[in-house]
Structures are given as C-alpha cells and as structure tokens.
C-alpha cells in the first residue's frame, strides 16, 4: 500500500498555485504542502497569502508567496521569475459573473475572459516554454468547471471562459505531449466557496442542490484526491483529460 500512496506524493516538486488566497486555491496549497511540495502561493490579496503561509509553515511545510494579478502580463512575468523553475502549475484563479447576457458590457466580459482564460494561457505558455527549453518535464492543472461542457443562464462570460479552458487544456496537451509536459483539468461542480456563496444562497441554492444526485454541494476535501491525481505521477499516462467532480450532476440531462 505504501507504494500506491507514494504515487500521489509531490516531494520536492515546485508548484505554483494561482488564486491561492482563499477557497479551492488555498486548499490546494495546503494539500500540496502536506504531500511534500515546495508551494508557491500566488494571488492579489497578499494579507490572505501571509495567513496561508503561516498555516503551512506551522505544519513544517515549505512555502513562498508572490503577488499575482493574472490579468496583468507584467505581474505574471514577475511571479514566474520569483517562483523559479516549476514542476507543476495550477491555474486556479478565477472570477464569475452573474447577470443577463444582454446586460453584460464589454468591460465585464473582458474581466472574466482575461482572468479565467487569457491569464492561464499566458502562465502555462511562459512557464512551460522554460521547461521545454531546458528539457524538463512539467505538469499543468487547469481548473475548469462543469459549465465547460454545459450551459446555465446568466453566466455567459463564465461559461464561455471555462469552455475555453477545457479546449485550451486539450490543445496544449496535444502540442506538448512529446515534450514531457502533461496538461489536464479539473471540472468542479457546485462548491460553496467565496466565489459563488451569494449565488448558492437561499432559494436559488436549494434549486441547484436538488439537481445534484448526491443532494449536496461539494466540500473542499472532495477535490483532494482528484487534485493529487492530476498533480502527481499517479496520472503519468494522462494528458488532455477533464476530470469531473460534481456529485453526479453531469451524468444526467
């Protein structure tokens, strides 16, 4: 059994996690540190990153924090420079939108696309270009959504960006497979985190919950296994995959 468990370890791997100041990103940082990784936690809210670093260091983990705005090319370049050569990149930073498409202006559309799609492409391109040039293997884990393959009302920009992430994952996987770079994505369903706590509150949340076969929203620990699978050598023959974690919601119509 120890050999199986060892497959999911990240000992000595340098991993950069975006959007690590809260929610899923912070959870991934804690899990990665617990699995032996050298964690570079990146986000805009540096005070929250400092709190996360304290939690990781209290358990004996290795952590470095870097300020990062994924919509800003200069900020991305600076974060990658401070992070150093990466073994694993986790593109988790994301924003949502809520409102009718007819009332979504250009600025709101661009905010969502720049954060959820352009930023991940830029970071993956630049981080893995260095690995390819140096002949080093690498792993990219993108965070998509079940809305990458289905739609919902009032989130046109978000759904489009996550569909883009899913196909970006496949495209990069095909292009980099012979370079030793694996690219996969997680597609979470409805998780009660800061990004969607308002949308899942009250009557709307009750309606969504009733459509989930397991009759509940996801909890952060539900992502631990899938995350470690894709980040570790346990998925060494997987690339271009979209791993869905949604309590069975995507299984139905």
pLDDT tens-digit series, residues 53-108: 999 999 999 999 999 999 999 999 999 999 999 999 999 999 998 899 999 999 99
* Res 181: pLDDT: 98
Residues 6+ apart with CB under 8 A from 66: 40, 41, 42, 78, 79, 82, 83
Mean pLDDT, range 187-207, rounded to an integer: 85
* Res 202: pLDDT: 82
Each domain of the chain, given as residue ranges in start order, spans 2-236
Annotated catalytic residue: which of 28, 158, 190, 217? 158
Tell whether the model's pLDDT for residue 1 goes beyond 60. Answer: no
Q: How far is the C-alpha of 228 from the C-alpha of 221, rounded, in Å? A: 11
Element (H, E) at 164: helix 156-176
Tokens describing residue 153: 């009302």
* Res 162: pLDDT: 98
Token pair 């989130």 in the structure block, residue: 155
Give the residue from 25, 183, 78 showing the smallest Cα distance to 39. 25
Q: Are 26 and 56 spatial neighbours (Cβ–Cβ below 8 Å)?
A: no
Tokens describing residue 23: 């929610």
Q: Domain 2-236 carries which CATH code?
A: 3.40.50.720
pLDDT one-digit tens code per residue, 23-62: 999 999 999 999 999 999 999 999 999 999 999 999 999 9
Active site residue 190: no
Tokens describing residue 154: 């009032």
* Res 203: pLDDT: 85
Q: How far is the C-alpha of 146 from the C-alpha of 166, rounded, in Å? A: 10
Mean pLDDT, range 141-163, rounded to an integer: 95
Q: How far is the C-alpha of 253 from the C-alpha of 250, rounded, in Å? A: 7
pTM: 0.96
Q: How far is the C-alpha of 24 from the C-alpha of 30, rounded, in Å? A: 10
Of 25-39, 114-128, 153-167, 201-215, which gets the smallest average pLDDT?
201-215
Token pair 């940082």 in the structure block, residue: 29
């Amino acid at each position: 059994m120890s050999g199986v468990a060892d497959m999911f370890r990240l000992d000595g791997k340098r991993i950069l996690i975006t959007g690590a100041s809260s929610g899923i990103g912070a959870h991934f940082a804690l899990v990665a540190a617990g699995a032996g990784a050298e964690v570079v936690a990146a986000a805009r809210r540096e005070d929250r990153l400092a709190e996360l670093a304290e939690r990781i260091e209290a358990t004996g983990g290795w952590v470095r924090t870097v300020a990062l705005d994924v919509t800003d090319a200069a900020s991305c370049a600076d974060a990658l420079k401070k992070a150093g050569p990466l073994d694993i990149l986790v593109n988790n930073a994301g924003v949502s939108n809520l409102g009718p498409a007819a009332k979504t202006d250009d600025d709101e559309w661009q905010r969502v696309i720049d954060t959820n799609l352009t930023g991940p492409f830029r970071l993956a391109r630049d981080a893995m270009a260095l690995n390819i040039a140096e002949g080093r293997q690498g792993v990219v884990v993108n965070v998509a959504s079940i809305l990458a393959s289905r739609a919902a009302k009032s989130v046109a920009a978000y759904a489009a960006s996550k569909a883009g992430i899913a196909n970006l994952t496949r495209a990069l996987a095909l292009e980099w497979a012979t370079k030793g770079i694996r690219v996969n994505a997680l597609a979470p369903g409805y998780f009660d985190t800061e990004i969607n706590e308002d949308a899942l509150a009250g009557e709307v949340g009750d309606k969504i919950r009733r459509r989930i076969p397991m009759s509940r929203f996801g909890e952060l620990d539900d992502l631990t296994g899938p995350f470690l699978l894709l980040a570790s050598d346990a998925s060494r023959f997987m690339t271009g995959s979209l791993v869905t974690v949604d309590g069975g919601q995507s299984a139905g119509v």
